[in-house]
Structure 1
Amino acid sequence: MATTEMPQVRDCAVRSCAYNRQGCHAYAITVGSSDRAHCETYADLPVKGGIDAVARVGACKREDCQHNAGLLCHAPHITVGPDLDAADCLSYQPAELV
């Protein structure tokens, strides 16, 4: 999967994140933890940073998400915001059991 094919972080409602400057400007984010679809790139810092481009999803560790294949996100785009934690992937959808 080339960088241009990685899903875009279309919206991030977590204003306290250092990468959020009217949208996520991290180079790429990692989603996942053992119990939820947490944005592991979230940084609660007093400075703002990142690049002059919209972030992409670099890795997703939530194997149980229907958008996950080979630990990569295949959703067209994602949204990040508060759910169980301050910064979670709100596009996470549990995979259907077959």
Structure 2
Amino acid sequence: MTQLPVISTCSVEGCSYNHDHDCHAGAITVTGDHSACGTYIHTDSPAGNDTTAQVGACHRADCVHNESLECHAESIEIGAGDDPADCLTYAASA
């Protein structure tokens, strides 16, 4: 199995999985037109586990880090972009 990239930082305030700028979901999915974090959920209840999240799947086949819908970046950053929680590491392939 390929080593999944970790979420190196998450600056999204109000996400249940974000604890002190660390994502604690088991894994996230990057989706949508703006590379949105599909795992983002805005609630007051803390969620997740004690590990740092990884990228489980990426639906952005046009990203330079994407190979067969798997992310191959060393790590990624999640933060506000066009959506409240986007993959800021996304880079369009040439």
TM norm structure 2 = 0.96
When you count strand as a share of all residues, which structure comes out higher? 2
Matched pairs, number: 93
Give the alignment partner of residue 65 of structure 1, picking from 63, 66, 72: 63
Identity of aligned residues (%): 45
Give the C-alpha shift of residue 49 in structure 1: 1.1
> What is the root-mean-square deviation in Å for CA atoms of aligned residues?
0.7
Amino acid at match of 2:7: V
TM norm structure 1 = 0.92
Moved over 6 A (4+): none
Deviation per residue, 1:39-90 (Å, 9 max, x gap): 0000001101101000000000001000000000000000000010100000
Name the structure 1 match of 2:28.
29
Structure 1 unmatched ranges of 5 or more: none
Structure 2 unmatched ranges of 5 or more: none
Give the C-alpha shift of residue 36 in structure 1: 1.5
Give the C-alpha shift of residue 32 in structure 1: 1.4
